[in-house]
Amino acid sequence: MTGASRGIGAATARRLAAEGADIVITARTLDQHPTLPGSLRETAEGLRQFGGQVHVVGADLSDAHDRSAIVPRAVELLGRPVDILVNNAAAAIYQPLIDFPLKRRMLTFEINVHAPMDLAQAVLPGMIDRGEGWIVNVSSATAHPWTPPFSLGSLGATTGIYGASKAALNRMTNALAAECVGTGVRINTVEPRSAVLSEGAESLVGATLTADQIESMEEMVEALTALCVCTADRTGQSHVSLDLIAQLGIDVHDLDGLPMDGVGQARGQR
């Protein structure tokens, strides 16, 4: 699980741990981010209550050498190959494209496209050997192009580079899944239909959004978790969180795996 120091990554790691999975989490922030709450060690501490293995691997996904060590280290810590890879980490830099710096463009694609591909290539041999595995890449609605007349919303065209990287991720996911048909490996992307206010998203766009433009963390995590155990007929697709939940007819649970009522409260005890 990449990008697990906070936000969707930390929330999904918690849900998977609650469902009984052994977890390896990775991000740059081992102890404390200079401006945002959350760290890998905090996430790990919260996961250990569920009783499974919990391991922390600090890594900078923008550095090819750094990220090349993640999967071998995860295999070493778990004592077995990786069954599920969730590529959640992302670089989201929003600014006008007219003067968008090359360095920032390269960083965006390094983290949002090349890192997921490198990690997928690292886990796929083990998955193919076992005849089973799941890779879930977290995408974004910004991957979809606008058409005239342009209605860009509060962020304008500043999401263009970020969205382009996510479009590349969607296409790469689709092609990789096509190559892996028949191996037992399922590879998908999932994007929120509306904004999920993680700590990073809150700081970037929280003030610009209205209630109808937001979906809950639990909804996004429910869809993501479903793809971590999906069947072979659901591979190579770019899914939308709330649409997938409706298609599968599944209920939304809280991050501890407990059913939720209609107002977002957990019911009962696990």
Q: Which residues, in sequence order, are CB contacts of 91 under 8 Å at separation 6+?
A: 62, 107, 108, 110, 111, 112, 162, 165
Q: List the catalytic residue out of 85, 114, 162, 238.
A: 162
Q: What is the DSSP letter of 201?
A: H
Q: Distance (Å, rounded) from C-alpha 250 to C-alpha 242?
A: 10
Give, in degrees to the nearest 5, the angle at Cα 252 between 246 and 258. Answer: 155
Q: What is the DSSP letter of 136?
A: E
Cα Dmax for the chain: 55
162 counts as catalytic: yes
Tally the C-alpha atoms within 13 A of residue 98's C-alpha that lie toward its C-beta: 3
Q: Which residues are catalytic?
A: 162
